[in-house]
Amino acid sequence: MALYDVFNGDADGLCALLQLHLAEPRESVLVTGVKRDIALLDRVEAGAGDEVRVLDLSLDKNRAALERLLAAGVRVRYFDHHFPGEIPDHPGLEAHIDTAPDRGTSLLVDAALDGAHRAWAVVGTFGDNFDAAARQAAAPLGFDAPTLERLRELGIYLNYNGYGARVADLHVDPAQLFERLRPYADPRAFIAADPVFAQLRDGYADDMAHAEALRPEVDETAGRVFVLPDAPWARRVSGVFANARAQAAPERAHALLTRLPEGGFLVSVRAPLARPDGADALCRQFPSGGGRKAAAGINHLAEDDYPRFVEAFLSTFRG
């Protein structure tokens, strides 16, 4: 029997999978990519008796591949918090799907494991910009404020590493990053021992310095729109910069549009933290768009669609 782990290459996907591996150490085939590369089940050629675990990937975007695997006799465990559409009713599918706006995949795995590796769930939840939920989950662990801040930083850096148009844009391939995380039951030990933490910290600081110099193209009470250049630093920083802007102005929505080499934009949207709803519905109005209520994106927005996007963005978050 083969085991396949198919996971989003961001903090939430990494930390969700890490909890499962710590609870039940097994060798598996890793299938992942950049954060926006979400149609990953297409790459899995599993057969009867095999098992596939899917973490932090929209069921709706992987529906055809999921149905193919189930029909072939593959057992699938599915953990996710994005818009799923209709969830198949199949004896081979074990679905843990919850689209609550402050409940990421790391917390869904944490619940399934009865909190066995809660510290990593906290890291993944911080990485997904659910700070209040992360702090609530961490409360029983008794961490002091400096320790909690270090876990928050780790979550941000892991999330930052997932952004890019291609794996070559990233500091570390997400599959390799998972293997670096895998030996550590305690994220504090990873922070202290593995040089990847410093590599991501320094890269984040450098890229954010570029981003902080940007001025919004649209600046209204409802929200702000930033346009980033076609550059690797911009593709890496787009999501975490959007999260930082959202934390700084919780009553406003934010959209970051990063120019792509082939033309058009990669889009990251954050609903106001005070009203975390509407980002997914907005992005699904455009081809290649999707996500969750609080945060969503569009993999390729055509240049000609920029005015329509801005109008839809402001309309979604006004009032």
The CATH number assigned to the domain holding 30 equals: 3.90.1640
Q: Are residues 69 and 166 in the same domain?
A: yes
Q: Are residues 264 and 238 in the same domain?
A: yes
Q: Are residues 15 and 132 in the same domain?
A: yes
Q: Are residues 226 and 294 in the same domain?
A: yes
The answer to whether the beta carbons of residues 123 and 157 sit under 8 Å apart is no
Q: Is residue 52 part of a domain?
A: yes
Q: Containing domain of residue 134, as a range?
A: 3-203
Confidence of residue 234 (pLDDT cuts 50, 70, 90): very high
Name the domain boundary from 179, 203, 227.
203
Which CATH number goes with the domain that contains 251?
3.10.310.30
Instruction: Give, in order, the Cα–Cα distances in Å from 309 to each of 240, 244, 267, 292.
Output: 21, 22, 10, 17
Name the domain boundary from 203, 237, 252.
203
Residue 231, pLDDT score: 93
- pLDDT digits 0-9 by tens, 248-285: 999 999 999 999 989 999 999 999 999 999 999 999 99
Q: Are residues 48 and 89 in the same domain?
A: yes
Computed over every residue of the chain, the mean pLDDT equals: 96
Q: Are residues 23 and 113 in the same domain?
A: yes
Residue 244, beta-bridge partner list: none
Q: Is residue 227 part of a domain?
A: yes
Q: Are residues 224 and 181 in the same domain?
A: no
Q: Are residues 186 and 249 in the same domain?
A: no
Q: Are residues 176 and 270 in the same domain?
A: no
111 C-beta neighbours (distance < 10 Å), count: 15
pTM for the model stands at: 0.87
CA distance 41 to 117: 26
Q: Is residue 128 part of a domain?
A: yes
Q: Is residue 141 part of a domain?
A: yes
Q: Could you give the number of structural domains in the chain?
A: 2
Name the domain boundary from 203, 229, 260.
203
CA distance 66 to 70: 6
Q: Are residues 113 and 175 in the same domain?
A: yes
- pLDDT digits 0-9 by tens, 154-198: 999 999 999 888 899 999 999 999 999 999 999 999 999 999 999
Taking the CA atoms of residue 195, residue 198, residue 203 and residue 208 in that order, the dihedral angle to the nearest 10 degrees is: 160
pLDDT at 36 exceeding the cut of 90: no
Instruction: Supply 210's token pair.
Output: 């570029």
Q: Are residues 119 and 248 in the same domain?
A: no
Confidence of residue 1 (pLDDT cuts 50, 70, 90): confident
pLDDT at 102 exceeding the cut of 90: no
CA distance 145 to 137: 14
In order, the DSSP letters of 258-311 are: EEPTTSSEEEEEE--TTS--SHHHHHTTSTTEEE-SSEEEEEEE-GGGHHHHHH
Q: Is residue 208 part of a domain?
A: no
Q: Is residue 36 part of a domain?
A: yes
Confidence of residue 319 (pLDDT cuts 50, 70, 90): low
CA distance 315 to 211: 26
Q: Are residues 162 and 258 in the same domain?
A: no
Residue 224, pLDDT score: 97
